[in-house]
Amino acid sequence: MMHWWKTVGLAAIFAALVGLGTAASCGGDDSGADAADTPTDDATTDDGGGRVESNPTDGVRADFVISSLRIGNQDDGEGFNLDGQNTPAGHPYLPQDGPGGVDNQLGSLLHELYEAGLDFDADADIARSIESGDLIIILSHRDVDSWTSDPGWVPLFGYAGKDADDPEDPTNNLTGTGRFLIDPQSLTDPTDEDTALISFPQGILNDTTAADGNLQRGDFEAGPSLFAVDLTVQDDRQLHLEMNGTRIVWDLETAPAGNPGLNGRIRNGLIGGYILLGDAARAIARLDLAGSDIDINTIRNILQGQADMDVVPEGFTDDPCTVATTQTDCAPGQGCEADATRGGAYYCWEYDGVGDAISVGLVFTAVSCETVGIYTETTP
C-alpha cells in the first residue's frame, strides 16, 4: 500500500511513525444524535480532572483524514516538552531543546542522516504520498456530544486506510467527503474496528479560542499514551515500532455537520512522542542499505549523537549480549556487562547520563471523511 517506503526507507520509519504510525480510514456511525455544529469562543479547555462519561455511545462519530503532514521545526516550538526539562545549550550530553523545553529532534536527525549519505526528502515524499493516496492516515473520534464543550471523554482511534472508490480515485480523498476502508493491519482483530492498534481512550474536546495559536494546546487533546505499530517496509520486511509518551492536539477550524459528520476541517494539529534508541536501531538493522552511501554503524553513531532524551534508568536491560557483538545486541550508547544476579551471564547495560531516546513531532491538518467498512481481499 505505501510504496513510498521503498524509496524513502529510513526517513519513512521515523516520519510516518510520528504521523500516527499507521495510515487510516474515516467514518460515520448511525447511532446517537448530531453533535452541535457551531463552535463558541468562550469555552475553556478542561484538563480532564473529574471528567465523567455517563453514556459512551450517545454521541456521534467524526473521522478526519490527514490532508497535510510535515516534520515539525523544534526551533519554532513545533513539538511537546515530553520530559518536563528545558535542556540548555552546552549540556554535557544532550542537544539543546526548543523554546520552552520543546522536544523534537526528528528534523535534526534526518538532516544528519541526509548529510551522511542517506538520500531522501521526507516532507516532500510524505506530501506526494498523501496526494497520491498512498499514505492515508485517519483520526477516528467517537462519542462527540458537542463540538463546543463536550462534558465526557472523546476516544480517538487511528487507522491505516484504503481508498473505497472503485477504481481508486485519490482526487476526492481530501474534499471533506472522502470515503475509505480500514486497513486490517491497523487492528488487533482484523474484523473489529474497535481493536485499533492506536487508541487514546481519554480524549478531551472543548473548543476554545484560548488554544488558538498555541500549538501545544488545542480544541482536542489526548495522551500521553504508548502505541505500537507494525509497518511493512521494502516490500516484505515487517518493522515493529513503539512510540512512547505520545500526545496529540488539534484546533477545530470548521465543525463537521450531519451524521456521519462531513465537511469539517482541523488545523494546528501536532502529534509527538519519543522512540527509544534500541527500537530505532533494531528497525534500521532490518533495512537493506545496499547501494547507499551509509552503513549501519554510521547510522547508530548518528542516532546516539542525536538522542535528546534520557528516559531509561541506569542498569541491566533484558537483552542478552556478548562483548564482541555489543553494537548489534545493544542499543546505541549501551555496554555489555556480566550480571551477577543472573549467573554472570552478559546483558546490555544502560549507563546514566547518556541519551537513550529521540523525540519526534509532526504538524498536520485534516479534513472530514467517512469509513465504509474494513478492507478484505474480496472488497470490490
Percent of the chain with pLDDT over 90: 50
What tens digit of pLDDT does each residue of 60-76 get? 999 999 999 999 999 99
DSSP 8-state code for residue 17: H
Report pLDDT digits (tens) over 272-309: 999 999 888 877 776 666 666 777 788 888 889 999 99
Q: State the cell numbers at 13.
A: 520509519
Is there a contact between 106 and 10 (Cβ–Cβ < 8 Å)?
no
Low-confidence residues of the chain, pLDDT below 70? 1-50, 52, 54, 118-120, 209-213, 227-241, 286-292, 379-380
pLDDT tens profile 108-121: 988 888 787 766 67
Is the separation of the CB atoms in 135 and 16 below 8 Å?
yes
For residues 298 and 296, what is the distance between their CA atoms, to the nearest angstrom?
5
- What residue ranges do the domains of the chain occupy? 4-294+355-373, 314-351
pTM over 0.85: no
| Cross-strand pairs, 232 | 238
CB 114 within 8 A of CB 9: no
The pLDDT assigned to 114 comes to 79
- Would you say 162 and 136 are in contact if contact means Cβ atoms under 8 Å apart? yes
Q: Are strands 178-182 and 156-163 parallel, antiparallel or unpaired?
A: antiparallel
The C-alpha atoms of residue 55 and residue 189 are separated, in whole angstroms, by 25
